């Protein structure tokens, strides 16, 4: 009986570790430093600091960028979309809610402001959610 309990406990730990490993991870505030036509994104971690204008600003925490690829099925949303800005739309969490196509996103003259990035187990970016910043 005891061996069976230990085996079940060990299996539960292995399954739990596998689920944790497969769960997406995210970076709450990123500063995108470069986007490339092949879908490669260079970014650094960022943080909010008080600012005279607009109450806050995002500052990079490092000079060494991380490099990640956009997943083929990446979801990209910004506050004003990637085309001609029409209306501002954000979700309950303050993150952009206007869908943006991959090619449109990669062609933007400047990346979205302080996006939240979500990654899959392979390290690819699966979600880019920009914030509104006037």
Convert the pLDDT of each residue in 77-121 to its tens digit.
Answer: 998 888 776 788 888 888 888 999 999 999 988 888 889 999 998
As a whole number of angstroms, the distance between CA 60 and CA 47 comes to 7
Q: What is the pTM of this model?
A: 0.77
| Element containing residue 1 per DSSP (H, E) | none
Token pair belonging to 32: 């995108």
HEC per residue, 90-125: ECCCCEECEECCHHHHHCCCCCCEEEEEEECCCCCE
């Amino acid at each position: 009986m005891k061996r069976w309990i230990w085996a079940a406990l060990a299996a539960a730990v292995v399954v739990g570790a596998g689920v944790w490993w497969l769960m997406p991870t995210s970076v709450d505030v990123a500063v995108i430093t470069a986007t490339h036509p092949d879908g490669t994104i260079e970014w650094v971690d960022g943080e909010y600091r008080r600012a005279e204008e607009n109450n806050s600003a995002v500052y990079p925490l490092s000079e060494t960028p991380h490099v990640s690829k956009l997943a083929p099925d990446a979801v990209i949303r910004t506050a004003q979309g990637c085309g001609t800005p029409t209306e501002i739309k954000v979700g309950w969490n303050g993150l952009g809610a206007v869908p943006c196509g991959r090619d449109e996103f990669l062609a933007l003259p400047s990346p979205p402001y302080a996006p939240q990035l979500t990654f899959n187990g392979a390290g690819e970016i699966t979600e880019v959610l920009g914030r509104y910043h006037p």
